[in-house]
Structure 1
Amino acid sequence: MYKLSISDKAFNVLNYGFLSFVLALTFYPLIYVLSASISDPAAVSSGNMWLWPVDITFEGYRKVFENNAIWTGYRNTIFYTVLGTLLHLCILLPCAWALSRKELMAKKAILWVILFTMLFNGGLIPTYLVIKSLGMLNTVWAIVVPNVVGAWAILVARAFFQQNVPDQLVEAAKIDGASDFHIFFKMVIPLSAPIIAVMALFHAVGLWNQYFNALIYLTDQDMYPLQIILREILILQEVGGDSAAGAVGQTENLLEQAKTAELIKYAVIIVSALPLLIVYPFLQRFFVKGVLIGSVKE
C-alpha cells in the first residue's frame, strides 16, 4: 500500500469520470431502445420518454411473436450460426496452425495468396454464378459457405499460435513420438481457448446478423433466417399502415397503425439483438485476452 499523490488522485478522478461518460454513451442507446419497445409510441415520438418506459405496453412484442414465421426464423438462424461457426473453426484452426509452423514449405507464397484476398474479390455477380454452378442456391450451404474463413481471421489465429505454443513444446512432443494430429488436437486446441472464443464470436455475430446472402440465394420462405423475417414484418406493417388510410370501414385508423409500427420497430431490434447480448458476457474474458494476444503480439 502506498499513499497517492495529488496528481495521481486527480488522474484517477478524470479517468473514472471519462470511463463513466463512455459507459453512459454505450448504455443509453440500449436502455432507450428497450424502453421504447414497451412504451406508448406517442410518448416516444413526442420526446416524453427519454430513458425509462412510459405507459408500459407489450403490444409490439405480441404483434411480433404472433407471427409464426418468427420461430421458424429463430430456428433457421440458430442452425446457420452453429453450423457456420463450427465449419469456420474446422477450417480456420488447422490452416492457421500450419501457417504458424516454420517447417511449412512455401509458407510465404501461401500467405501472399491469403493477403491478396483481403484486397480483391470476385464481386456479387461472379460469386452468384459460382454458387449457382455448385448447386448451392436455396440450400443451407449458400449461407454458411461464402465467407466461411477470412484472411484477417487466419492471420490473427496464426499470430496467436506463434506466440502461445512454444516450439520447444512441439519438439518435445515429437521426440516422444507424438504425431502432428496428436499435437494439434491434444496440445494446441486445449491451449487455444481464447482465440477459439474470439473467432467463434466474431463469425457467429456475422452469421446471426446476415441477411444479404439469404436475400440473394434463398427463395424458400421456410429457409429464411430471422433477419429476413423481421424485415418482412416491418415492410408488411408499413404497407398495412398505408393501406389503412384509404380503406372504408377499417377498424383501426392510420394513427393506431403508425403507433403499432413504431412499437414493432423497436421490438424487432430487441428480438434480434437479445440472444447475442446474453451470450457475450460469458465469452468476454476470452474475447479480451484473445484479441490482445492474437492481434497485438507477433
Structure 2
Amino acid sequence: MTVTTAAMVRRKRRSGRPIWQEPPTPAGRVGKALLLALVVLAVVFPLWVVVITSLSSQQTIDATGGLVVVPQGITPAAYLQIFSGGVVTRAVLVSTFITAAGTALSLAVTALSAYGLSRPGSLWHRPLLFAVLLTFLFGPGIIPSYLVVKSLGLIDTYASLIIPTAINAFNLVVLRAFFMNIPGELIDSARIDGAGDFTILRRIVLPLSKAALAVIGLFYAVGYWNAFFNAMLYINTTEKWPLQLVLRLYVVNGAALPSGGSSGPQSSIAGMAPAPTLSLKMAIIVIAAVPALLIYPFVQRHFTKGVIVGAVKG
C-alpha cells in the first residue's frame, strides 16, 4: 500500500502539473459537494421562506410567530388581492412598461454608440471614448442630475425614469470590445460591396453579437426593473409609481399604501377574508423578484461569450 502511494506521488511530481490540476480525491469530491449544497441552501432557503409566507393564512403566521418555513394553510389570497386592482397592480404595469421601453431604447442607443466607438476612424473617436471612460471615476451627483431633469421638463413623467439612465458606461465599453473582436475583413468586404455603416451594423455586426446583446439587454432590464431611487426623486404622482417604489414604501418602511385601490393591507376581495399584512409584503417581494429569476436562466449561457470574451480587448 505504501509502495503504491509513493509511486503515485512520484508520478504526479514527474508530471510537473500544479496541484490544482490533479484529479480530485474522494475526500475532495465530498467536500465540494457539501460546500455546493450549503451554498444552494443559503440561496434557496430565504426564497422558500418568502414564497411560503406569501401563501400562508393568518392562523399559520400567528402560530409560527412570523415567517413560515413549513407550508400549512396555503391560500393565494395575497396574490388575488394584489392583482385585483389598485396600487400594486398599477405599479406592476408601470414597471413592465418602463422596463420594456427602457431596455429597447438603451439597447438601440448603446449599440449605435458602441459601433461608432469601435471604428478607429470614426468622428471624435478618442475624445468621446475618453468622456465615456471618465464617467467610471466621476458621477454627476444627485443635485445636478435633478436640475437637468427639471430643466428638460421631465419631472413626474415616465421619461425621467428612462432617459437619464439610457446608456450605462460599463455596458457600452463591453459591447464596444465585443464589436472590436468582429473580423475587420467582414466589414471591409461589405464596404466594397457598397454597404453603409447602418447596413453593416444591421446585417453583419448585430447578428454576430446576439450573445453580447442578450447579456447587455439583461443588465438593462434588471436595472430598470429594480430601480426605485429615480422614481423617488422625479415622480410625484402615486399612479405613476413603479413596483420597486411601492415595495420600498410598504415593505421596507412599513407605511400604508395610498388609498384608492384594493391592494392595500386592509382591503379584500368579495367573499374572501383580507390577506395577512405579512403575506402581502412577501407577495410583493415575490412579484418583484420573479421576472429576473425567470429571465436569467435563458440568458445565462451567453454570459461567458458576451461579457468575458467581449472584455478581453479594450
Question: What's the CA shift for 1:226?
Answer: 1.9
Cα distance 1:260–1:7, how it changes in 2: closer, same or farther (>3 A)? closer
Q: Distance in 1 between matches of 2:178 and 2:123?
A: 20
Q: Distance in 2 between matches of 1:6 and 1:196?
A: 37
**Counterpart in 2 of 1:216?**
233
Cα distance 1:238–1:102, how it changes in 2: closer, same or farther (>3 A)? closer
Q: Which runs of 5+ in 1 are unaligned?
A: 241-258
Q: Indicate conservation of the 8 Å contact 2:249/2:255, yes or no.
A: no
Residue 192 of structure 2 is aligned to residue 180 of structure 1: no
Secondary structure at the aligned position of 2:164 is classed as coil
2:40 to 23, 37, 40: 23
Under a length normalisation based on structure 1, what TM-score does the superposition of the two structures give? 0.82
Residue 295 of structure 2 is aligned to residue 279 of structure 1: yes
Cα distance 1:87–1:6, how it changes in 2: closer, same or farther (>3 A)? closer
RMSD across aligned positions (CA)? 2.7
Question: What's the CA shift for 1:288?
Answer: 4.0
Between 66-75 and 118-127, report the one with greater CA deviation: 66-75
Amino acid at match of 1:45: G
Cα distance 1:181–1:56, how it changes in 2: closer, same or farther (>3 A)? same
Q: Distance in 1 between matches of 2:36 and 2:247?
A: 35
Q: Distance in 2 between matches of 1:235 and 1:277?
A: 21
Question: What's the CA shift for 1:217?
Answer: 1.0
For 1:78-119, what per-residue CA distance to the aligned partner results, in whole angstroms no more than 9, with x for missing partners?
111111111101110111112112223543322221111122
Q: Indicate conservation of the 8 Å contact 2:232/2:245, yes or no.
A: yes
**Counterpart in 2 of 1:127?**
145
**Counterpart in 2 of 1:37?**
54
Amino acid at match of 2:243: L
Between 63-72 and 169-178, report the one with greater CA deviation: 63-72
Secondary structure at the aligned position of 1:119 is classed as coil
Between 231-240 and 274-283, report the one with greater CA deviation: 231-240
Overall identity of the aligned pairs, in %: 36
Amino acid at match of 1:140: Y
Q: Indicate conservation of the 8 Å contact 1:61/1:264, yes or no.
A: yes
Pairing 1:245-284 to 2, within 5 Å after superposition: 260-284=276-300
Q: Indicate conservation of the 8 Å contact 1:238/1:261, yes or no.
A: no
Q: Distance in 2 between matches of 1:69 and 1:6?
A: 57
Question: What's the CA shift for 1:157?
Answer: 0.7
2:167 to 149, 156, 165: 149
Q: Indicate conservation of the 8 Å contact 2:102/2:224, yes or no.
A: yes
For 1:137-177, what per-residue CA distance to the aligned partner results, in whole angstroms no more than 9, with x for missing partners?
111211101121121111111111112x1111111222222
Give the paired residue count. Answer: 274
Q: Distance in 2 between matches of 1:189 and 1:144?
A: 23
Q: Distance in 1 between matches of 2:145 and 2:205?
A: 34
Amino acid at match of 1:266: M
Cα distance 1:25–1:121, how it changes in 2: closer, same or farther (>3 A)? same
**Counterpart in 2 of 1:253?**
none
1:71 to 59, 79, 89: 89
Q: Distance in 2 between matches of 1:7 and 1:130?
A: 58
**Counterpart in 2 of 1:117?**
135
Q: Indicate conservation of the 8 Å contact 1:84/1:148, yes or no.
A: yes
Amino acid at match of 2:297: P
Larger radius of gyration: 2
Q: Indicate conservation of the 8 Å contact 1:234/1:261, yes or no.
A: no
Under a length normalisation based on structure 2, what TM-score does the superposition of the two structures give? 0.78
Which structure shows the higher helix fraction? Answer: 1
Q: Indicate conservation of the 8 Å contact 1:198/1:291, yes or no.
A: yes
**Counterpart in 2 of 1:225?**
242
Q: Distance in 1 between matches of 2:312 and 2:277?
A: 45
Between 217-226 and 138-147, report the one with greater CA deviation: 217-226
Q: Distance in 2 between matches of 1:280 and 1:185?
A: 26
Q: Distance in 2 between matches of 1:8 and 1:18?
A: 15
Amino acid at match of 2:158: V
Question: What's the CA shift for 1:8?
Answer: 5.2
